Structures are given as C-alpha cells and as structure tokens.
Structure 1
Amino acid sequence: MFMEEPSQKKLKLGDESGQDGGVAEASVVDAETRLEDSVPERYIELVFTWSSKPFTLSIAEVFDLKASLQSLTNVPPERQKIIGLVKGKLPADDVCVQSISGDLRLAPGKKFTLIGTPQGDEIKDPSQLEFLPDVLNDLDIDFSAAPEAAAAYLHDQRNKRKIREISAKLQVNIIHPLREGKKLLVLDIDYSKDVFVLSQFAPGTRAEATTAILDTKPLTSGALPPQECVRPRLHEFLEAVYPHYDICIWSQTSWVWLETKLVEVGMLGTERNYKISFVLDKTTMFSVFSTRNGQPYRHHVKPLQIIWNRFPQYSAKNTIHVDDLARNFALNPRQGLKISAFKDAHTPRAMSDRELDKLAIYMVHIADLDDLNKVQHKDWKNVVRGLRPDFDAPST
C-alpha cells in the first residue's frame, strides 16, 4: 500500500457520483504542491551572545529564530531584545530567512546580542538579588587624599593575584565596536537598598546604597517607570561625551539584572547618538579590606587594570572612572572622578539635578589632553565653575 503522488490527486466538484459537477484535475493545487516540495528550506547560521556566553544557531524563518533563542536561553519571545541583527524591528514570524538575507542584508555568520531574563528568573524584589551592594556614605573613603593607602593596595600581592585571575578568565561581550583613538569612560550602575545598620563592621553606622546615574530603588521595586528613574540629562550627557570616549558600564550586580535594566531605561536597544561599547558585572570585582575611624571593614573594588589587560589601547592615560563611591577607586585613585549620588527620583530636588550637565562640560574640556593621569579630578567642579559660572549652584 502506498500514498499517491500529489500529481495523481483528483478533485471532485459536486457529489460523489459526479452528477452535478463532474471531475476536474486540481492542476493549480498540484503545481503549487510540487513547487513547495521541490524548494528546500534555506537555513542561515547565526552567532549571538547572551549573558556573556556565545551561542550558534541555524534558522529558516523568523519564528525559528525566536523559538531557537528560547530553547537555548529559556528567554521567552516576548522578553527577547535582539540587538545588532537587523535595523528596526524583525519581520513577521513567517518570513523566510532568505528574504531577510536579500532585503536586510542578513548574511551567514551574522553576530548579534540577545538581552532578556529567562523564564523563572524574574527579579521581583531587590532583597532577592544574589549580590548585595556595598554600603556607603559615612563609610566611604577618598583614596586620592590618602596616597600611602592607595600605594599599599596597588602593591598588595593578593590584589595583584586577584587581578591576574580575573584577567585570565575575563570574557567581554563587545556590544558596539571600540573606536580607535578614543578615551574610555567607565560608569557605575548599581541598585539601591534601604538604609540599614552596618553592625558587623561599624556598629551604629547608618549607610545607604546609591548609584551615580540611576535611582535604582524605585527601578527595582517598580514604584516608578524605568525612564523616570534615570538621572536628569543622562542621555544628553552620554551623547555629549561619546564623540571623545568609548563607554563602559560597570555594575556591582549580576549580568541578568544589568542587561535588563539597561534596556528598560533606554541605554541599550534604542536609536541614540551614543553607544555602549561593553559592560562588566560583579564577577570582575573583588574584595579589599580597609579601615575607617579605627574600624575594619571589607568592600569591593573595580580594578581598571583588568580592562587595560584586555584592551591595551586603554590605559591610565586615557581612562576615567565616574562613580558616586570614592572607595571603588581604591586601586586606581587617579582615574576616579566622584560625583554626587542620585536618589529620590521624581522629587523636585532630584528632577532639578544638573550634575551630569556639569560633568559633560568637564569631560569634554579634558578630552584632548594626552595624559589624564596627570589631572586632579577631585577639583573637577572648580574647573566647571571657571568655565561656566552659571553652573555654580550647589549639586543635589
């Protein structure tokens, strides 16, 4: 027993006896069937990164892409943010890859980035995050004012070993190509936590976690829309400095949290006049031990040397690290520029904040200097006052 070939099929019009309509061969249907059977699906192999990990997949239709991404990463289609594959939105699910290749220049081996939270890993409350931020405020340390302490950190054998270990296993996902001749701006983005007492190291000391460019307390809790948690003029600041600096975001949080929030606030995946070159998460940091008012305590640092080891075009001469925590500069105090912390978004005081406008003026002003290592960034606001007296008002 066997199945008929499509060309042998007959289509009867009318009842089974053919009394009302007779019999006609379905030539058009057969022709289309033969055409579909004779044209094989065309697959294209693509390469993407997600959560700093590389993946390869072969797809025939846009639907295959979304399904394959979910299979490999457990990120459902409605959460998938695809960066660098095509300009604009993806075509409909039933569009064949070969038509994308022709119309939108999708070539085999094309690389792109996937951003999205896996099913079941949604962040519902800041307390559920796996990595608590360092406490700050009255526990912060200005290492630029303590060169002997900074030198001790730099020459500490444990710290040198940790930098070597992190550098050896560092994998960086380049989101946007690094540009020749540009300096490097490293920006902090962490999440906030309520004020609490640091009893284990400094009993009675009250401290609060903050960030330089976002108020992440309402961002993580959902109290405010993501765009309203952004420090005023953030995007304008990045657009102003981008002609001179490649941009790195360094967060003391997990990669999943970081990429999700960067998309939500519009720093990734949107058409703007700046690009984020790469991001680093908590795995590139390690702990050091400090003393404050006679009390020992541990805190994490962001060692720029691991970036310089990975990308030799950057160095102490052309890197600037902006953070609201001076102690993050422990291993690179001369590259650190401390700005005021941003919090209480949506209050009149926060909405009138112009710290980033001032910072843009300063960073553009020093952009042409050959060696930033010789600049005292601690005095940056005095420089801005000299350049723009109208910005002499106190910061938030």
Structure 2
Amino acid sequence: MASQGDTSNPESVEELTMMVKWSGNGTFVVRVCADDTVGELKRRICELTNVLPKRQKLLNVRVGATPAVDSMLLSQLNIKLTTKIVMMGTVEDEILVEPVDAPEVVDDFELGQEDTVDIMDREVNKQKLRRRIEQFKLNLINPPRPGKKCLVLDIDYTLFDHRSTAENPRELMRPYLHEFLTTAYQFYDVIIWSATRDDSCGAVSMKWVEVKMKELGVLSHPDYKITAMMDHLAMITVQSESHGVFDCKPLGVLWGKCPEFYNSKNTIMFDDLRRNFVMNPQNGLVIKPFRKAHINRASDQELLGLADYLVAISALDDLSELDHQRWKDYSDQHKRRRRS
C-alpha cells in the first residue's frame, strides 16, 4: 500500500493507493483514505471488479489472525506500504435486492457546531471529496438548464416509504409527489440522490434507484424532467468525536461535476437524515420522514408546504444564507405577502 503526500503532515498521508490482486483476473488500483472502513474498500473494489462486497474475501486484510470486519477503519490495520491485497471472489449475476430486506437505519443524530466545523475543515475529508469528484461518474439524464437553481432529493422516507409493502409501489409514494416536482421544476433542476446500497456494489444500488423512479412514474412524467440520479458511490465516510464513523452526502461532488451550473448558493437538499448534510449544513433541509404509508398518506401534506417554500426562495441570490429548518415560517410569510 503506497501513500501519497508529505509524510511529515499526518493529514496529508490519509489518501492511499492500494494494489488489489484478484486471483486469475489481474491487479487493480484502488484509492481510499486511511479513515475509510474495510466496507468502503470492498465497495470500491466492487466498482472495478463487479464482485459484490459480501462475496469478497480479502486474504491479508486482518487483525492478527482474524479477518478484519467491515466496520473497522483501514488506519487500524497493520498493512505495510509494500502489501498487495489479495482478493478472492466470484462475479454473480446482478440481483436487485429490495431495501426492505436490508437492515433499517432510522436513527439520526445532532452534530454540534464544533463537530460539524471539524468535519468540514479536515484535510482528509477534503481529499476524499476531491477523489469523489474525480472518480464518480455523473450520468445526466437531461441537461442542466442555465439559470435554474438545484434541488437534491433523497428517496427513502423522503419521496417513498421503502419499508411498507403494497401490491402497487405507487401506494407507497408520498402524497403530492408529482405536484411537488412539477412546481419545483419551474425553478430548479432536480437531482435524485439515494444512499441505498443493499450490501452490494454501486451498480446494483443505482439499478434500484432507477427501478423505483420508473415505478413511481418520475422518469416519464410529462410535466417535469429529472436532471440526474446519484447513489452511494458519490458519498464519503467521515468521522466525528461524538458519533464515530458514518457516511454523508457531500454536495461538493455535484458542484465539482457541474461547476458552471451548481454551487453552494443555488443548491438545496432534502433528506430525512440530518447527518447527510454534515459537509454542507447550510444547504440541507431535514424533511419529516414518510413512514407507514397506509396510515399516513391521507394526512401527509409535507410536499405541498415544501413546494410553496421552494417557490418562495427561488428568487433569492444565496440559499445558503437561509435557516432551512424554519422553512414553514418562511413559507407562511410568503403566502401572507401574496394575499395582501
């Protein structure tokens, strides 16, 4: 394993280039960071080999005589600079695994301002962001529109109740989804970003995103268009003193891919998990989770209110100056001004 950067600065050696030999299939170069997890390493290997993480066996990624678990940080392993990782695994046909079969992660946590600033400012996280910008392939479904702001939307519990069951997936769709997207599309390019991975590599995750959006009629609606979709491979792993290691959605990846269209001033992201905003807290709005669709779909009007909010702020020069957690107050004020 070869490191990059000035070894006199601990922050500068966090980016690593690892040589992974896949028995009988050649050697692959995988770039990670020291505080990435073993699970993240496996996902990166999956990108290159299509061997699902659950099918990978990394022979010399160990703690003593015991194979390292996926949650362990690479920095905790005694891997020498000259080590070549040997991976055993077999490619299987892509299997679409519904998230309902995956462990549910519903707990969220409030990071203090000090924690958030530390995560944003750490050089290792900036390196990860630069690497994601370089490596992630953003596939545009429709071209960005000059002059439009950008709306980034999560799927699970934001647009869709992915845990409940129904004969028709549209029964689990959040009420007023199409009306919301139709309104937003007048002022915003819409990006779908899901963290779903289902214990597999990014290709399967993106496949799930596409399937769900098609089932909900989002990709074929006549009144709006989706600009792009992003998946777990655009996320990065960060670490905080209070909550340990977790994944987040750095909007800098999108801004780095489309710098002529999107930036911190014209982008807003909706997600039900606050921690996903840790690299860009001023651009995130925590949406009320949509769960138990069969019970709540008759009363849930979250998207109607948020559509009004998006219209209300669409003419502002800098969305990052707003306190998005007070969106209901701002929306109500806008409605009152319109009536008067």
Identify the TM-score tier after normalising by the shorter chain.
0.5 to 0.7
Q: Which has the larger radius of gyration?
A: 1
**SS of structure 1 residue aligned to 2:190:** strand
* Paired position in structure 1 for 2:330: 383
Q: Quick one: structure 1 residues 232 and 167, their matched pair in 2 at CA, closer, same or farther if it must change by over 3 Å?
A: same
Q: 1:243 to 1:157 in 2, by over 3 A?
A: same
Residue in structure 2 matching 1:183, options 126, 145, 149: 149
**Aligned position for 1:255:** 206
Shift of 1:224: 4.0
Q: Deviations over 1:314-355 (max 9, x none)?
A: 1110000111111110000000011100010121x3321000
Report the CA distance between 1:258 and its aligned residue: 0.8
For residues 149 and 322 of structure 2, the distance between their equivalents in structure 1, rounded to whole angstroms, comes to: 14
1:230 deviation in Å?
A: 0.6
Task: Specify the SS of the correspondent of 2:166.
Answer: coil
Query: Could you tell me whether the CA contact under 8 Å between 2:166 and 2:172 is conserved in 1?
Result: no
Kept in 1: contact 2:195–2:231 (CA 8 A): yes
What is the aligned counterpart of 2:304 among 334, 357, 372?
357
Match of 1:225 among 149, 153, 168: 168
Q: Indicate the residue corresponding to 1:341 in structure 2.
A: 289
- Alignment partner of 1:284 is 2:284: no
Percent identity for Structure 1 against Structure 2: 39
How far is the alpha carbon of 1:122 from its aligned partner?
3.7
1:337 alignment partner AA: L
Partner of 1:50: none
Q: Distance in 2 between matches of 1:224 and 1:285?
A: 32
Aligned twin of 1:242: 185
Q: CA deviation at 1:291?
A: 5.0
User: Could you say what secondary structure the match of 2:153 adopts?
Assistant: strand
- TM-score, normalised by the number of residues in structure 1: 0.56
User: Which of 235, 243, 268 does residue 320 from structure 1 map onto?
Assistant: 268
Amino acid at match of 2:109: D
Relative to the length of structure 2, the TM-score reads 0.65
**Amino acid aligned to 1:273:** D
Answering whether residue 106 of structure 2 is matched by residue 136 of structure 1, we say yes
SS at match of 2:293: coil
5+ residue gaps, structure 1: 1-117, 191-210, 390-396
* Equivalent residue pairs, number: 236
- Structure 2: gaps of 5 or more residues: 1-91, 197-204
Partner of 2:31: none
2:99/2:163 contact within 8 Å kept? no
Q: Quickly say closer, same or farther: Cα 1:341–1:371, change in 2 above 3 A.
A: same
Structure 1 residue 123 corresponds to structure 2 residue 89:
no
Q: CA deviation at 1:260?
A: 0.8
Select 1:165's aligned residue among 131, 146, 151.
131
Tell me by how many angstroms 1:148 deviates: 2.5
- In structure 1, how many angstroms separate the alpha carbons of the residues matched to 2:275 and 2:236? 13
Q: Deviations over 1:365-389 (max 9, x none)?
A: 0000011121111211111233447
* 1:376–1:177 distance in 2 versus 1, CA, 3 Å: same
Q: 1:352 is paired with a residue of what secondary structure?
A: coil
Contact 2:272–2:289 (Cα < 8 Å) also in 1 = yes
SS of 2:332's equivalent in the other structure is helix
Q: Which protein, 1 or 2, shows the higher relative CO under an 8 Å CA cutoff with sep ≥ 6?
A: 2
Query: 3-state DSSP class of the match of 1:217?
Result: coil
RMSD after superposition: 2.0
Q: Which residue of 2 aligns with 1:371?
A: 318
Give 1:297's aligned residue: 244
Letter in 2 for 1:136: V
- Aligned pair in 2 of structure 1 residues 122, 315: CA closer, same or farther (>3 Å)? closer
